[in-house]
Amino acid sequence: MTTPSLCFIGGGNMARSLIGGLIADGWPADRIRVSDVDTEALARLGQRFGVAIGTDNTEAAAAADILVLAVKPQVMHAVASDLASAGMTRGRLVISIAAGIRSSDLDRWLGGDNAIVRCMPNTPALVQSGATALFANARVGSEQRDQAESILRAVGLTLWLDDEQQMDAVTALSGSGPAYFLLVMEALQAAGERLGLPADTARLLTLQTAFGAAKMALESAEDAGTLRRQVTSPGGTTERAIQVMEEGRLRELLERALSAARDRSRELADQLGH
């Protein structure tokens, strides 16, 4: 079976991570083309991965089976309209990894009746450890769903949403989530230093502890709450620290933070969709 040809419109960090993951998984480099206005970024992609490069979106899309739209949300309308004017989207699967662009708005910009998969990856995709939620509109067939999933799975975990409105919650949880964990890590390291640890020691202990906790959770059949209770000895140091966090209403703070991020995601989608 012939590997579908891919065209990435946009050659930024997320496109680079996807291309790297796909090639590592065995996707032939000669079945991938990238278009971008940044000629230096294109040159780096071509040299590193051996993919075809160019600055003309229409020319790049002409020979593709699947279009991956990886441009900034603010320019998606213009890019999509140009592709539609050139008839470059009819009969092709279109995958969008642009945050905040609803599939209905993108379909309208592309001229209507397009098979669109909207994706919300997160930044750990840059190290092939991402989490991506996908939503397919009604025109996406089962084979196209499999193709979209295989592309995004090259950089980490994938899961499908039945309701596109959930994408705002996904954006709040996993899309923005890496920053939350990095903030906690930043605060833990700083607290360790204030307790007298050298900076390098506090940093390494923080990083390995975060990695170890995530690995424990990933490899266990138990939920996070059960695991936390298992590692919290009654009357011990961990219990005392957890008590302080609970008194500070950490759970309530996180819920408020995610709600704020979800609401902002909706606002941006409304603004970008006009």
- Percent of the chain exceeding pLDDT 70 equals 100
Q: Is the pLDDT reported for residue 193 higher than 90? A: yes
Q: How confident is the model at residue 1 (pLDDT cuts 50, 70, 90)?
A: low
Q: How confident is the model at residue 194 (pLDDT cuts 50, 70, 90)?
A: very high
Q: Please give the pLDDT value at position 63.
A: 85
Worst-scoring range by mean pLDDT, 70-79, 83-92, 190-199, 249-258? 83-92
In degrees and rounded to multiples of 5, residue 39 shows phi and psi of -70, -30
Q: Is the pLDDT reported for residue 172 higher than 90? A: yes
* Residue carrying the six token digits 């620290």: 241
Q: 109-144 pLDDT, tens per residue?
A: 999 999 999 999 999 998 999 999 999 999 999 999
Q: 211-227 pLDDT, tens per residue?
A: 999 999 999 999 999 99
Q: Please give the pLDDT value at position 58.
A: 92
Q: How confident is the model at residue 88 (pLDDT cuts 50, 70, 90)?
A: confident
Domains and their CATH numbers in the chain: 6-167 (3.40.50.720), 175-268 (1.10.3730.10)
* Residue carrying the six token digits 């307790």: 195
Q: Is the pLDDT reported for residue 238 higher than 90? A: yes
Q: How confident is the model at residue 90 (pLDDT cuts 50, 70, 90)?
A: confident
Q: Please give the pLDDT value at position 274.
A: 74
CA 166 to chain CA mean position, Å: 15
Q: Where is pLDDT greater, at 88 or 1? A: 88
CB of 117 closer than 8 Å to CB of 146? no
Q: Is the pLDDT reported for residue 273 higher than 90? A: no
At position 30, the amino acid (one-letter code) is: D
What is the C-alpha radius of gyration for the chain, rounded to an integer number of angstroms?
A: 21
Q: Please give the pLDDT value at position 254.
A: 97
CB of 228 closer than 8 Å to CB of 222? no
Q: Count the neighbouring beta carbons within 10 Å of the beta carbon of residue 237.
A: 9
How far apart CA 201 and CA 186 sit, in angstroms, is 13
How far apart CA 264 and CA 131 sit, in angstroms, is 20
pTM of this structure: 0.91
* Residue carrying the six token digits 């390291």: 189
Q: Please give the pLDDT value at position 223.
A: 96
Q: 35-68 pLDDT, tens per residue?
A: 999 999 999 999 999 999 999 999 999 989 999 9
Q: Is the pLDDT reported for residue 89 higher than 80? A: no
HEC profile for 199-214? HHHHHHHHHHHHHHHH
Q: Please give the pLDDT value at position 186.
A: 98
